Structure 1
Amino acid sequence: MSSGEFDLRSRLRGFLVEDQAPVPQCSRAACNNAAEYRLEWRNPRIHTEDRVKIWLACGTHLDFLRGFLDTRGFPMRIADVHDPVNEEPIRDSPNY
């Protein structure tokens, strides 16, 4: 990941009491549910293949967020939120 891009690990650091494990939240507007999935995607019209953007989704909003990206033809891949971040380029064909 290049400098200045979204880093999930940095986003979660320092927000909770040290005794608690960080609980990432769903990226859907107004949703405070714990995230279960990570959608890694890019907009091919403005991003090169090495640019990886990340949204988090709870089980309720996974289909909504995936549909938003899929409708626009944005290549993506979906992983469990606790899997290591895949920093490989996202190719033009959807991978989910």
Structure 2
Amino acid sequence: MRQDLVLLSMFAGLAVVVLPVVFVFFLALGPAGWLFTGVSIVVVGVVVAAKADDDADETPAKTNCPECGSRVQVNAPTCDYCGHAFDGPAPDDTPDPSAP
């Protein structure tokens, strides 16, 4: 038997059991519970987005290797993929703003 069909049937069975329970739960909460749930989801979303934005600043700058095109850190002495040695820092993708 194919595993993807087994997983699909398991999720469908789970949905048949869980969704009515969730539906009845939210009906029992009433408008105040709906508002609390909505505000909680928004707060969690804002916190996750802020955390993801903080993590994005910690990634090192990268550029492409001139030999193979692999992504390497700007200050890497050699390419991790092809072993190309850079004379100085790896070449930068961005043009020099002081160049004419």
Between structures 1 and 2, the one with greater strand share:
1
Q: TM over 0.5, yes or no?
A: no
Query: What TM-score comes out, normalization by structure 2 length?
Result: 0.25
Query: What TM-score comes out, normalization by structure 1 length?
Result: 0.26
Between structures 1 and 2, the one with greater helix share:
2
Query: Of the two structures, which has the highest relative contact order with CA contacts closer than 8 Å and spacing of 6 or more?
Result: 1
